[in-house]
Amino acid sequence: MTSSLATLKPTDTVFDAISLMHQKRVHNLPVLDEKGMFIGLFGLRRLGHLMLPIAASSLGPHSISDLHFLPDEVVQMSDRWHEIAEQPVINFLEKKKKLMFCTPDTAFPELLSMLSRSKDSSLPVLIVEGESKKLVGMVSPWDVLEGIILGRLKTDEEDNPDEKKK
């Protein structure tokens, strides 16, 4: 889990979000309200959807697998970018009913399952208290893999200290 996170405010622009994502080399950024509570996630997947031609977006989720017939030029994509770049990220958060998250107590097998089902590359780790959700970190498949591998290497070194000397 990564706990030192870059975050967005609801009023930050899409341009600001993309700049921060590029700078931090992340695919998703949590959005926090003025009290520091989690309200949503803005990510590259959502941006990709925003950049689709309007005709493709209106086809619906089951009909956008074949878009070669749409005559979209770079200029049109640039125009769409300018339309959304200065809008606040609050307008483009992942839908709450589709957004997956875990808690610090989520069991490891359940976490692996959630990560494999998630359409995002990372999950927010939240402490839920009533209606409020406090963000404590983000977890990605890499975090899990790194934890397993590094944990195993550390255990192997402790079990076989002479192996390291060879």
Evaluate whether residue 53 is within a structural domain.
yes
Q: Please report the pLDDT score of residue 21 as a whole number.
A: 92
Q: Please report the pLDDT score of residue 54 as a whole number.
A: 53
Q: Please report the pLDDT score of residue 100 as a whole number.
A: 86
Evaluate whether residue 103 is within a structural domain.
yes
Q: Domain range holding 148?
A: 14-165
Evaluate whether residue 2 is within a structural domain.
no
Q: Are 89 and 47 in contact (CB under 8 A)?
A: no
Q: Please report the pLDDT score of residue 98 as a whole number.
A: 73
Evaluate whether residue 4 is within a structural domain.
no
Q: Please report the pLDDT score of residue 152 as a whole number.
A: 67
Evaluate whether residue 3 is within a structural domain.
no
Q: Please report the pLDDT score of residue 141 as a whole number.
A: 83
Evaluate whether residue 5 is within a structural domain.
no
Q: Please report the pLDDT score of residue 142 as a whole number.
A: 83
Q: Please report the pLDDT score of residue 138 as a whole number.
A: 93
For residue range 2-26, list pLDDT tens digits in order.
778 899 999 999 999 999 999 999 8
Residues of the chain below pLDDT 50? 55
Q: Please report the pLDDT score of residue 39 as a whole number.
A: 92
How many domains is the chain partitioned into structurally? Answer: 1
What gap in Å lies between CA 129 and CA 145, rounded to an integer? Answer: 29
Evaluate whether residue 41 is within a structural domain.
yes
Q: Please report the pLDDT score of residue 166 as a whole number.
A: 52
Domain CATH number, residue 19: 3.10.580.10
Evaluate whether residue 152 is within a structural domain.
yes
Q: If you search the block for the tokens 């995002």, which residue do you land on?
A: 120
What gap in Å lies between CA 139 and CA 101, rounded to an integer? Answer: 9
